């Protein structure tokens, strides 16, 4: 049985720049991966910009949990 994983990185999610657009893309990314029966998500690099806001952190929690 194949092991499936997806990899992405350096999203630099920023509440002040294109937040809604980036959030929508992340939701599509996760939904597509789940639909494809992915076994593992690998997200490296900078998921947010320096000193992420609560809104930015909560988006990651909401999407990946």
Number of H helices, E strands in the chain: 2, 2
pLDDT at 52: 80
Domain boundaries, the chain: 5-64
Give the per-residue pLDDT at 59.
86
**Cα–Cα distance between 15 and 7 in angstroms, integer?**
23
Q: Which pTM was predicted?
A: 0.72
Query: Is residue 13 packed enough to be buried (19+ CB in 10 Å), middle (13-18) or exposed (0-12)?
Result: buried
Q: Which parts of the chain sit beneath pLDDT 70?
A: 48-49
Contacts of 32 (CB under 8 A, 6+ apart): none
């Amino acid at each position: 049985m194949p092991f499936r994983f997806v990899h992405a990185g350096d999203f630099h999610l920023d509440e002040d720049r294109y937040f809604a657009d980036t959030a929508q893309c992340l939701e599509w990314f996760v939904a597509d991966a789940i639909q494809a029966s992915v076994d593992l998500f690998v997200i490296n690099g900078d998921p947010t910009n320096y000193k992420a806001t609560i809104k930015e952190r909560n988006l990651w929690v909401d999407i990946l949990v």
